[in-house]
Amino acid sequence: MSSWTCSACLEAISESCAIRQICGDDCPAALCKPCFLRYLDIKAKDALLGVVTSVHCPTCMKPASFFRLDALAPKNSALRKLRDASLKACTVRCASCDKVNCLLPPPGIETIERHGPAGAWTAFLSSIPEASETNKSAFIRECVAYCCHERSPQQLLAAVEAILKATVATVLPALLPAIYDVERRARLFLSWRRREPFATTRCCERSVCFVCQTDGHHAGVPCQDQLALVADVAQCPQCHLVLVKVDGCNAMVCYCGKNFDWAKEVTTYQHRAAFDVHRHIWSRICFFLRARASRTRHSTFIVSQIPSAVLQLKLVRISQFLATVSPLKSYLRRGIAFRRYDKCVVQCVPSIVTAWHLERHRRQFSATTVPAIVLAVREARFQVIQDTLSTSAALRGRFKSLLEYYRHHHHYRAFGAALALLSAAVAARRFKQLEAALPRWTAFRREFLRYVFRRRYNAVVAQVVLHAYKFGAAAIAKDEWVLALGLQTPAKKIKSRTARRSKAGAHKAKAAPIFPFGSTSASTSALFNVF
């Protein structure tokens, strides 16, 4: 009894437990039963409902027939799921009863996998008596090659028309039940329905279009134009499957696994449908846009460069001509110089002259008019003061006392700093003389410094008294102005102010030698002349 090695888990298995000849009689694969069943489960898990899925041999990667798979794993749930996915791709919904119908014919009793070509095709070949025996034999070989995954559905449909000289709608209803493999049968059915999409449901015999899944047969109208009437229809960008969304968000996943945005694909599908319907109009629009783009490029890159090129050519010709004619060259230079002079000098002269006149008038106004305005304002103010003082004798007396205080204050400010510096200089000089004449013993020097500090203290006290005098004089002047303006004050305040005036008069008599009267300004002398 021979043993085999599992191609998946590499474990030794007996011949009775080995799964061999998966895709054909010459298949070198050998798998243990658990690995084979696990492989079928993975394929069923990856299969999408509504997409025809084929099972390949895990060793040689050739597609395997469902007839062999059912024999190797009878009544397997994974194979049932793969079969249901292929059958779902051939379904259509009835518009009358809303029932889902599978239009794929089930396998008959006699199939090519079960009974061989001779027994399977007896009933089928009797349905096409007009074909010759040679053509029938050639077509049987094509069908066997298709069931062995050696031909594509499109090649088999082409063989129907080329070999049997018959229509696909006549041959396919009898040919499909003779194929047991659901994957081969479903792919052939879908290829047929893409070419001839109009069919009828089995439940209500309702006419439907298998491609666009719409009610009725829209003869003469492509499916894309028919679907364009539906507002919410899109087409998968990968497998081109037409989809209709009932509800949900815009993030879509097709049966083929392609992720796309629903709103974007709906817009793309509508544009494509509009382009297919009005192709001649879009062709004219594209022709116009291409012509407009070409004209724009010509204007931008060619026409715009023509003036500069022509000017450059003219300059080259002029320079070549002037090189041979010297008088004309000098005349042109003189003309160019005159034009430059007229443009840069003569045209700018009026603005320069205007600016010069404005500057002259401004200086003349500043030199003559502005000082006269100041003097006129001063004279007007002086005249107003004279008129005001001439109307009241009491106001003149008050004003005279105010001017006397102003004179005292003016002389104090004029000579106070000089007197302070003079006394300090005299005191410093005397101190140096006394210090030089002092004896050299310490007791006498200490007593003398004590005497000097006492004198300095007395000087500080005199300064304090002087500041008090200035504050009293300012208060008197304020009271006199209040009386001159006619303001009424209480009797107690008038008495206190009278007492302050008498004290201020005494201080003024004592302080008169400190502030000698001197020359005053011209305006102050003029005011005193009034009195």
| End-of-domain residue from the set 67, 89, 111 | 89
94 inside domain:
no
Q: Give the pLDDT confidence score for residue 517 in this predicted structure.
A: 34
173 inside domain:
yes
pTM over the 0.85 mark: no
| End-of-domain residue from the set 207, 230, 253 | 230
Q: Which domain holds residue 134?
A: 100-230
- How would you classify the pairing of strands 30-32 and 55-56? unpaired
Using CA atoms, how far apart are residues 54 and 345, in angstroms rounded to an integer?
95
| End-of-domain residue from the set 346, 376, 391 | 391
Would you call 311 helix, strand, or coil by DSSP? helix
Same domain, 18 and 49: yes
pLDDT at residue 525 is higher than 60: no
Task: Check: CB of residue 236 under 8 Å from CB of residue 245.
Answer: no
The residue type found at 427 is A
Task: Check: CB of residue 209 under 8 Å from CB of residue 216.
Answer: yes
Same domain, 112 and 212: yes
Q: Give the pLDDT confidence score for residue 512 in this predicted structure.
A: 39
- What value does the mean pLDDT take over residues 30-52? 88
What is the CATH number for 25? Answer: 3.30.40
**Mean pLDDT across the chain:** 77
Query: Which class for 433: exposed (0-12), middle (13-18), buried (19 or more C-beta within 10 A)?
Result: exposed
pLDDT at residue 76 is higher than 80: yes
The DSSP bridge partners found for residue 91 are 102
User: Which 8-state DSSP code applies to residue 240?
Assistant: -
Number of domains present in the structure of the chain: 4
164 inside domain:
yes
pLDDT-derived band at 526, boundaries 50, 70, 90: very low
The phi and psi torsions of 173 (rounded to 5 degrees) equal -60, -30
pLDDT-derived band at 457, boundaries 50, 70, 90: confident
Same domain, 377 and 454: no
- How would you classify the pairing of strands 100-102 and 91-93? antiparallel
Q: How is residue 105 written in tokens?
A: 């014919």
Using CA atoms, how far apart are residues 163 and 191, in angstroms rounded to an integer?
18
Beta-carbon-side half-sphere exposure of residue 430 (alpha carbons within 13 Å): 7
pLDDT-derived band at 123, boundaries 50, 70, 90: low
- 133-147, 180-194, 377-391, range with the lowest pLDDT: 133-147
45 inside domain:
yes
H or E element at residue 261: strand 259-261
